[in-house]
Structure 1
Amino acid sequence: MSGLLAGRVVVVTGAGRGIGRAHALAFAAEGAKVVVNDLGAALDGRGGAAGPAQSVVDEITAAGGEAMANTDDIADWAGAARLVGNAVEEFGGLDVLVNNAGFLRDRMLVNLAEEEWDAVVRVHLKGHFATLRHAAEYWRAEAKAGRARAARVINTSSGAGLLGSVGQGNYAAAKAGILGLTTVAAAELGRYGVTVNAIAPAARTRMTEQAFADDMAAPGAGFDAMAPDNVSPLVVWLGSTESAGVTGRVFEVDGGRVGLAQGWRHGPVRDKGARWAPAELGPVVAELLAEGVEPEPVYGA
């Protein structure tokens, strides 16, 4: 490996399995000291166990790297603060925050319960905000003390957040919210030397194994396009000092593909210079739609 992250301290949430585990191992392989956060919950977020996080730490240390386990709930305000504090206390600082933790409770909107909405929005959206908020407070203090760090945040959205996904209204809303949070954080934290970007990955994990069942690579088939490990190289690079000029961006990544997602942009406009009457707006909207770009279809529509 190149040692691209040598000496940098990285927190990865949801790092006990799947994409998060792949991130933690990839950062460690490039020389980073890694805080492996995972609550050890079931696929629907219930329960908890220390085993998944510790297992990844054991893999890293067996390979000669440095890592520690953390099992705090990242959507709990005090838990998120402890996570950031663990990195600073154990490894002397924090350079990279990778927000990855989450779970699913999929259901069509007409059947979606309030608790299922709240739980998914909490872990994905509040979980991103809480860790980011405490990390940002640390980085601001460091900058004001003359010790600005080349800090990096990589948030995890989804194709569902970019385009929507049938049967995942709670998840899609949370993942779209993460994109909004990313752009605001990038604008606000740049003054402290912090870049903030997001990824929309596709890989085979506990959360997606049914969706990608047809994409399972046969044993011995060579390159597995849906392996979680394919997502991590971009995340590692975004966590490096080389990515200093990249912020407020969203990348789609899967297999051997890396793409730049183009978000909401200003489109065609009609300005009357005065208030419109409702009856006037039918032809105006028709013109705008004719000139605008057709939206991409919602996943599963």
Structure 2
Amino acid sequence: MAIRFDGKVAIVTGAGGGLGRQHALALAARGAKVVVNDLGGAVDGSGGSVTAAEAVVAEIRAAGGEAIANGASVTDFEAVQAMVQQAIDTWGRVDILVNNAGILRDKSFAKMDMADFRLVVDVHLMGAAHCCKAVWPHMIEQKYGRIVMTTSSTGLYGNFGQANYGAAKLAQVGLMQTLAIEGAKYGIHVNALAPTAHTRMTEGLLPQPVLDALTPEAVVPAMLVLAHESAPSRTILLAGAGSFEAAHITMTEGIHLGAGAMVPEQLAEQLASVTDRSSEQVPQGGSAQGTHEFEKAMAAAASLAL
């Protein structure tokens, strides 16, 4: 099966360079019409110019594709709404949203200014929420949509000096989980991509041989699969250097202790049983936890009644 996007309209944020540029080029090469969004700022989010987006648009058009540039900041909801309207006015629909825009303000938490914490959350989390909210009614109306969040191994597993970035990136997974549930009946699939790639955001952080292997191009196949009409939903794909994995948020089988004065002590003594992963599951919704716990409580009550 060829992965094609003929007749589809895609918006890629942060597409003026790095991974976003490769996303935009790949979607266009496979038939999509692309809104290339980029504020054109520095890695820390300062400054701005639409020049970077326009350069990518020129590349796409030179290769025979269709694209338009947009310089909206994803932190500005009105500007994001105008960007989506620009796509609607130009091509009549929006099928794909790739939330790729991001910035870094790295420091250890002890030294981090809370303004830098808030700005990173605003760009990554609120930026993604703004874009999702702006495309949502159009995707509902056409009963079709594909949204790709960009999460990170930092959000999934942690990384020194990136408390702000990690919090924002894992929050995108939480947004994905609920939007996928709410969008299911409208044919809207929502997924997340955790890329490992050498871009200007990783410059100077890793040895050169590692950077040479971690090309943005190697991540793109995962995005294309998650943005395609055959895409799954509520899937977290990890990609880097030509390898692909999946991440899951799981729940262990756990134990039932009931209520009582000594429960904290019992829990501490049996914590290894609670955290044992041999029978863990991937819940299909937030209610699964409560259902699981209630069933354990009822089973315990029934055993006492015998």
Letter in 2 for 1:167: G
Match for residue 117 of structure 1?
117
Unaligned runs of 5+ in 1: 218-223, 294-301
Distance 2:134 2:195 in 1: 25
Question: Over alpha carbons, which structure has the higher Rg?
Answer: 2
Unaligned runs of 5+ in 2: 279-306
Distance 2:38 2:207 in 1: 25
Letter in 2 for 1:285: L
State the SS of the aligned residue for 2:87. Answer: helix
Match for residue 103 of structure 2?
103
- Confirm or deny: 8 A CA contact 1:230 1:256 kept in the other structure: yes
- Confirm or deny: 8 A CA contact 1:70 1:83 kept in the other structure: yes
Higher mean alpha-carbon deviation, 92-101 vs 276-285, is at: 276-285
Distance 1:137 1:161 in 2: 29
Match of 2:219 among 222, 226, 231: 231
How far is 1:180 from its partner?
0.8
State the SS of the aligned residue for 1:35. Answer: strand
Distance 1:152 1:112 in 2: 35
Distance 1:64 1:152 in 2: 24
State the SS of the aligned residue for 1:241. Answer: coil
How far is 1:238 from its partner?
2.0
Match for residue 249 of structure 1?
235
1:189-228 matched pairs, under 5 angstroms = 189-216=183-210, 225-228=213-216
State the SS of the aligned residue for 1:16. Answer: coil
Letter in 2 for 1:272: L
- Confirm or deny: 8 A CA contact 1:3 1:31 kept in the other structure: no
After TM superposition, the score normalised by the length of structure 2 is 0.86
How far is 1:212 from its partner?
2.9
Distance 1:216 1:111 in 2: 28
Match of 1:148 among 124, 139, 143: 143
- Confirm or deny: 8 A CA contact 2:16 2:53 kept in the other structure: yes
Distance 2:138 2:74 in 1: 16
After TM superposition, the score normalised by the length of structure 1 is 0.87
1:1-301 matched pairs, under 5 angstroms = 4-140=4-140, 142=141, 147-149=142-144, 151-216=145-210, 225-243=213-231, 246-263=232-249, 265-277=250-262, 278-289=264-275, 291-292=276-277
Distance 2:277 2:210 in 1: 38
Shift in alpha-carbon separation, 1:193–1:108, aligned structure 2, 3 A: same
- Confirm or deny: 8 A CA contact 1:3 1:29 kept in the other structure: no
Letter in 2 for 1:172: G
State the SS of the aligned residue for 1:102. Answer: coil
- Confirm or deny: 8 A CA contact 1:162 1:176 kept in the other structure: yes
How far is 1:273 from its partner?
2.6
How much identity, in percent, do the aligned residues show?
Answer: 39
Cα deviation 1:146-189 (Å, max 9, x = unaligned): x423x100110011011011100000000010111111111111
- Greater relative contact order (Cα 8 A, min sep 6): structure 1 or 2? 1
